[in-house]
């Protein structure tokens, strides 16, 4: 059990990667507070969690843009003895488009969830971690935060900011026993991806899906459990000497050229 005695709070936990982390953390012995916009979404996403883990799983509504909800959750978790020592900032919003497709309101929305949300949730839970002697802030960035991807103007900017926020947290709070890392996946097959394909390319979902799969030189998208495996390592004490780092999971995208046989694709 690599996470026994850890209490982990995950935002955006009803989504594909979020629920994979919930399941993986539970399997490693952690207590998990899974949060997302609504209790109903969480309950349905958590339907398949094994019954043996249920007594260590707590589902709580949390909108990361709502400071009142963050304070109320913080207070109630403290009173229930569930104050987290691992915080996973995973919730995100996406807008697809180049600069000229991006209205200021699109940038505001992406920033309010991805960056401001991370700030607000971490501001909520970090003081408690420090007071208890330390903790771990794990952020979900993206390959788009370290490698320019087509038509991701607002999203990439927010994820690049998360990479640097991670490093800032790591160096500013190292003396307080806090460490912070982030994960930068390429395309992961989740409702996040299928959702934006249906929204932005309703007439070419299958072609776009195939192109997104080909984008990774290994020839397929990443599975959520392949991201949660990294999250377990970074949330557990196995990685105790690692802080301020970004971990790319990209099936070879940034290693170099695609194989000659691969047709160049965008999407």
Ligand X SMILES: NC(=O)c1ccc[n+]([C@@H]2O[C@H](COP(=O)([O-])OP(=O)(O)OC[C@H]3O[C@@H](n4cnc5c(N)ncnc54)[C@H](O)[C@@H]3O)[C@@H](O)[C@H]2O)c1
**By C-beta, is 16 or 267 nearer to ligand X?**
16
Residue range at the interface with ligand X (CB under 6 A); choices 88-96, 126-134, 228-236, 238-246? 88-96
User: What six digits make up the tokens of 29?
Assistant: 């012995």
146 lies in the site for ligand X, by CB under 6 A: no
Indicate which single residue of 10, 46, 86, 188 sits in contact with ligand X (rule: CB under 6 A).
Answer: 188
Contact present, 68 and 36 (Cβ < 8 Å) = no
Could you list the active site residues?
A: 155
Tell me the site size for ligand X, rule CB under 6 A: 28
Q: Which residue has the CB atom at the shortest distance from ligand X?
A: 15
Contact present, 87 and 73 (Cβ < 8 Å) = no
**By C-beta, is 34 or 126 nearer to ligand X?**
34
Count CB-CB contacts under 10 A for residue 264.
8
157 lies in the site for ligand X, by CB under 6 A: no
**By C-beta, is 142 or 239 nearer to ligand X?**
142
Contact present, 84 and 30 (Cβ < 8 Å) = no
Q: Is the dihedral of CA 69, 74, 77, 83 positive or negative?
A: positive
Residue range at the interface with ligand X (CB under 6 A); choices 79-87, 167-175, 180-188, 200-208? 180-188
Contact present, 227 and 20 (Cβ < 8 Å) = yes
Indicate which single residue of 36, 85, 106, 250 sits in contact with ligand X (rule: CB under 6 A).
Answer: 36
Smallest distance, Å, CB 193 to ligand X?
5
Nearest to 17 by CA among 139, 110, 147, 117: 139
Nearest to 85 by CA among 177, 190, 185: 177
| Contacting positions for ligand X (CB under 6 A) | 11-12, 14-18, 36-37, 62-65, 90-93, 113, 117, 140, 142, 185, 187-188, 190-193
């Amino acid at each position: 059990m690599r996470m026994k005695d850890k209490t982990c709070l995950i935002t955006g936990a009803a989504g594909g990667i979020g629920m994979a982390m919930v399941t993986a953390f539970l399997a490693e012995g952690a207590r998990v507070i899974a949060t997302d916009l609504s209790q109903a979404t969480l309950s349905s996403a958590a339907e398949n969690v094994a019954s043996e883990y249920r007594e260590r799983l707590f589902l709580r509504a949390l909108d990361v843009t709502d400071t009142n909800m963050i304070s109320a959750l913080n207070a109630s978790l403290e009173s229930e003895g569930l104050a987290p020592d691992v915080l996973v900032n995973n919730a995100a919003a996406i807008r697809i488009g180049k600069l000229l497709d991006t209205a200021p309101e699109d940038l505001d929305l992406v920033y309010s969830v991805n960056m401001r949300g991370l700030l607000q949730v971490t501001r909520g839970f970090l003081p408690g971690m420090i007071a208890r002697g330390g903790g771990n802030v794990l952020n979900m960035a993206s390959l788009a935060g370290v490698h320019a991807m087509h038509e991701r103007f607002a999203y990439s900017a927010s994820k690049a900011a998360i990479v640097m926020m991670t490093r800032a947290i790591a160096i500013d709070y190292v003396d307080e026993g806090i460490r912070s890392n982030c994960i930068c996946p390429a395309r992961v097959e989740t409702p996040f991806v299928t959702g934006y394909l249906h929204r932005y390319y309703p007439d070419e979902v299958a072609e776009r899906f195939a192109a997104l799969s080909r984008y990774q030189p290994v020839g397929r998208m990443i599975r959520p459990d392949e991201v949660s495996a990294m999250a377990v390592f970074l949330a557990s004490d196995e990685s105790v000497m690692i802080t301020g780092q970004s971990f790319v999971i990209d099936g070879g995208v940034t290693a170099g050229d695609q194989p000659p046989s691969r047709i160049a694709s965008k999407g």
